[in-house]
Protein backbone atom coordinates (compact mmCIF):
# COMPACT_ATOMS: atom_id res chain seq x y z
CA UNK A 1 0.00 0.00 0.00
CA UNK A 2 1.54 3.24 -1.14
CA UNK A 3 1.06 5.88 1.51
CA UNK A 4 2.73 8.72 -0.36
CA UNK A 5 1.82 9.29 -4.01
CA UNK A 6 4.15 11.43 -6.10
CA UNK A 7 3.62 13.01 -9.51
CA UNK A 8 4.70 13.46 -12.19
CA UNK A 9 7.06 10.57 -12.80
CA UNK A 10 9.20 12.74 -15.06
CA UNK A 11 9.30 16.45 -15.78
CA UNK A 12 11.08 18.60 -18.37
CA UNK A 13 11.37 22.32 -17.67
CA UNK A 14 13.16 25.08 -19.53
CA UNK A 15 16.01 26.90 -17.85
CA UNK A 16 14.65 29.77 -15.78
CA UNK A 17 11.21 28.20 -15.45
CA UNK A 18 9.38 26.89 -12.40
CA UNK A 19 9.48 23.18 -11.62
CA UNK A 20 6.59 21.80 -9.59
CA UNK A 21 6.40 18.32 -8.10
CA UNK A 22 3.40 17.15 -6.13
CA UNK A 23 2.83 14.61 -3.39
CA UNK A 24 -0.30 13.38 -1.65
CA UNK A 25 -0.50 11.36 1.52
CA UNK A 26 -3.18 9.33 3.27
CA UNK A 27 -2.03 8.99 6.87
CA UNK A 28 -3.09 12.06 8.85
CA UNK A 29 -0.62 11.10 11.59
CA UNK A 30 2.32 12.13 9.39
CA UNK A 31 4.08 15.09 11.00
CA UNK A 32 7.26 15.57 8.98
CA UNK A 33 7.55 15.99 5.22
CA UNK A 34 11.03 16.15 3.68
CA UNK A 35 12.16 16.33 0.08
CA UNK A 36 15.29 14.52 -1.03
CA UNK A 37 17.40 15.21 -4.12
CA UNK A 38 19.38 12.46 -5.82
CA UNK A 39 21.98 12.81 -8.55
CA UNK A 40 22.95 9.82 -10.73
CA UNK A 41 25.25 7.41 -8.93
CA UNK A 42 24.76 9.11 -5.57
CA UNK A 43 22.62 8.57 -2.53
CA UNK A 44 19.66 10.87 -1.83
CA UNK A 45 20.34 14.04 0.16
CA UNK A 46 17.92 16.11 2.20
CA UNK A 47 16.89 19.24 0.31
CA UNK A 48 14.19 20.86 2.42
CA UNK A 49 11.58 19.75 4.94
CA UNK A 50 8.36 21.04 6.50
CA UNK A 51 6.11 20.28 9.46
CA UNK A 52 2.30 20.59 9.22
CA UNK A 53 2.07 23.63 11.48
CA UNK A 54 3.19 25.90 8.60
CA UNK A 55 1.81 26.21 5.07
CA UNK A 56 5.02 27.16 3.31
CA UNK A 57 8.76 26.96 3.78
CA UNK A 58 11.30 28.61 1.52
CA UNK A 59 15.04 28.01 1.24
CA UNK A 60 16.65 29.91 -1.60
CA UNK A 61 15.02 28.85 -4.87
CA UNK A 62 13.27 25.86 -3.24
CA UNK A 63 9.83 26.16 -1.63
CA UNK A 64 7.57 23.59 -0.03
CA UNK A 65 3.85 24.36 -0.09
CA UNK A 66 1.75 22.36 2.36
CA UNK A 67 -2.05 21.91 2.31
CA UNK A 68 -3.10 20.02 5.41
CA UNK A 69 -6.81 19.83 4.57
CA UNK A 70 -6.09 18.38 1.13
CA UNK A 71 -3.29 16.16 2.47
CA UNK A 72 -0.96 17.41 -0.24
CA UNK A 73 2.42 19.04 -0.39
CA UNK A 74 4.54 20.20 -3.27
CA UNK A 75 8.05 21.28 -4.15
CA UNK A 76 8.55 24.40 -6.24
CA UNK A 77 11.93 25.16 -7.80
CA UNK A 78 12.11 28.74 -8.99
CA UNK A 79 14.46 29.86 -11.77
CA UNK A 80 15.29 26.22 -12.53
CA UNK A 81 18.88 25.58 -13.59
CA UNK A 82 20.56 22.67 -15.43
CA UNK A 83 22.29 21.79 -12.14
CA UNK A 84 18.85 21.08 -10.67
CA UNK A 85 18.46 18.12 -13.03
CA UNK A 86 18.10 15.18 -10.65
CA UNK A 87 15.55 12.79 -9.20
CA UNK A 88 13.43 14.21 -6.40
CA UNK A 89 11.69 12.18 -3.72
CA UNK A 90 9.06 13.36 -1.30
CA UNK A 91 8.71 11.51 1.99
CA UNK A 92 6.69 11.50 5.20
CA UNK A 93 7.16 10.36 8.77
CA UNK A 94 4.99 10.17 11.87
CA UNK A 95 6.62 10.58 15.21
CA UNK A 96 9.45 8.16 14.58
CA UNK A 97 12.53 7.73 12.52
CA UNK A 98 11.04 5.76 9.64
CA UNK A 99 10.41 7.58 6.37
CA UNK A 100 7.87 6.57 3.73
CA UNK A 101 9.05 7.72 0.31
CA UNK A 102 7.21 8.63 -2.86
CA UNK A 103 8.17 6.96 -6.12
CA UNK A 104 10.36 9.79 -7.36
CA UNK A 105 10.32 12.42 -10.12
CA UNK A 106 13.09 12.66 -12.68
CA UNK A 107 13.56 16.37 -13.41
CA UNK A 108 15.40 17.55 -16.52
CA UNK A 109 16.17 21.21 -17.06
CA UNK A 110 16.80 22.07 -20.71
CA UNK A 111 18.60 25.20 -21.99
Partner 1 sequence: DAGITQSPRHKVTETGTPVTLRCHQTENHRYMYWYRQDPGHGLRLIHYSYGVKDTDKGEVSDGYSVSRSKTEDFLLTLESATSSQTSVYFCAISERQGNPYEQYFGPGTRLTVT
Q: What is the distance between the alpha carbons of residues 83 and 56, in angstroms, rounded to a whole number?
A: 24
Q: Name every residue whose Cβ is closer than 8 Å to that of residue 2 and which is 6 or more positions away in sequence.
A: 103
CB of 36 to partner 1, least distance (A): 8
Nearest C-alpha neighbor of 37 from the set 25, 27, 26, 49 = 49
Among 42, 59, 78, 82, binds partner 1 (CB under 8 A): 42
Indicate whether 107 belongs to the interface with partner 1 (CB under 8 A).
Answer: no
CB of 88 to partner 1, least distance (A): 11
Indicate whether 59 belongs to the interface with partner 1 (CB under 8 A).
Answer: no
Q: Which is nearer to partner 1, 54 or 78 (CB)?
A: 54
Nearest C-alpha neighbor of 9 from the set 110, 111, 108 = 108
Q: Which is nearer to partner 1, 38 or 85 (CB)?
A: 38
Amino acid sequence: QQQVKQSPQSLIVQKGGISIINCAYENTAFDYFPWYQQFPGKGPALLIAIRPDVSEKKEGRFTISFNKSAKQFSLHIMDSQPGDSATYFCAASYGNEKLTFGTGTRLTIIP
